[in-house]
Structure 1
């Protein structure tokens, strides 16, 4: 049985889907641990959630690009006596430009945030969830994990595909112990993601029916992991794109990806 007030840890909680997850879980009666780099945003969100829902909200500023961050974060949770029931691995971003156009340090930080950190946080928090017989892990992946990789965001699709496969294995290993694991795979989502990568003007050319709000993505993610769904692609349009990508021959799918990359990605060398 879930606790009366589950405790949810949300990474990347200062904006976009992370903020939406925090609000959705608080509205469902969860206490929260908010994790991100931008302290002011976290404090403002925490104050909002305490006032609106009355739960406990802890703010733990953390830069997950630091390889030591997951260990420190879990150590602070233990020091405060906080037992995490829900882990939402949401922190992430994109690196625009070709692979060789960016410094290795840029790529290393990206891999640390999108691959190593969520993997380590799951490894550190899972044993206690299993011992209590209850837990939920949502790994925010992407529709990009199912379609051919695109030029201009070289590591993004690869990282998201990893999160999908990782979630599937974790789900199989932990379901009998009462821990549900879900890879949440949104498509285009209204957030500051494309503003940060400098592709907003290009992405705004896409038709509006292809976009979902961060709030809708979070609602679907919470519902999916509660149902025990292992992989959830948000929205009918995105599910149709996934199905089409799986049916197309690789050569044709890559050709389509190359064409779209020129329209919507930054390809500077």
Structure 2
């Protein structure tokens, strides 16, 4: 724990209104943390805050923010400073996916995506690191994905790329600051039950996938918190996804890319084309 005067450790969770973000908030509250919850939907954050206070006596500060706005990370940091809140643990969780090929979307759609998935996590870490270093203790968890560890696919063009960036960013950050009390961990989960697939239009396909491939969000959160405390830099949740990752280390690139191309064609037919047709209606 940090030596700052706050009564309880404090964690900031982005994208906290549902899914993995809400699971992190619940797990952290059960471990004695107070929370700063940020997302776009105030009513969901307020409901979660009430739940955490009732169940664990955890106090939550709600900061409504849309991280696709370039000024949002600075605004969050300024509000934290104004309230005298020092963050001990940052969970960069906010994110989503864009189905289809690169030219299927206008550039502002991709620009906003990169702001949320790449720029915002880096800027929040940059702004909160000084306080962690001053106190000699901090934790940063970046929610990446197994998609960032294996070959990319056609469709969802920027998703795997953004997650790969978070993995490399986390590795560098961990090596730079672990000697000063700040641990960083990239969490690489696979398919996890959440609203993610409703947002990107992939729910019909996801519902046809076998149940055994799915991870529970609360398990991902528990695994991640244990990993960052142990100083693990990359955490892969679930035996299935650890196996998939190991396979990519030993199979030749040409075979992996061929498998990826087949999976991409299947996704295009099952998800991206029907979604485009619905949007055109």
Q: Specify if TM > 0.5.
A: yes
Matched residue, 2:62: 59
**CA distance in structure 2 between the partners assigned to 1:132 and 1:17 by the alignment:** 28
Q: Which runs of 5+ in 2 are unaligned?
A: 277-281
Aligned partner of 1:241 among 244, 252, 270: 244
Deviations, residues 56-96 of structure 1 (Å, cap 9, x unaligned): 11000000000000011100000000000000000000001
Matched residue, 1:13: 16
Of the structure 1 ranges 228-237 and 257-266, higher mean CA displacement relative to structure 2 is found in 257-266
Deviations, residues 5-48 of structure 1 (Å, cap 9, x unaligned): 21000000011000000000000000000010011110110111
Matched residue, 2:279: none
Matched residue, 2:179: 176
5 Å matches for 1:190-269?
A: 190-265=193-268, 266-268=271-273
Structure 2 residue matching 1:212: 3-state secondary structure: coil
**CA distance in structure 2 between the partners assigned to 1:263 and 1:216 by the alignment:** 29
Q: Is 1:159 matched with 2:152?
A: no
Matched residue, 1:125: 128
Structure 1 residue matching 2:215: 3-state secondary structure: strand
Q: Is 1:90 matched with 2:93?
A: yes
Aligned partner of 1:30 among 30, 33, 41: 33
CA offset at residue 2 of structure 1? 3.4
CA offset at residue 227 of structure 1? 0.7
Matched residue, 2:2: 2
CA offset at residue 267 of structure 1? 3.9
**CA distance in structure 2 between the partners assigned to 1:145 and 1:37 by the alignment:** 26
Structure 2 residue matching 1:260: 3-state secondary structure: helix
- TM-score, structure 2 as length reference: 0.93
Runs of 4+ in structure 1 off by over 6 angstroms are none
Q: How many residues align?
A: 269
Structure 2 residue matching 1:159: 3-state secondary structure: helix
Taking only aligned residues, the RMSD between alpha carbons, in angstroms, comes to 1.2
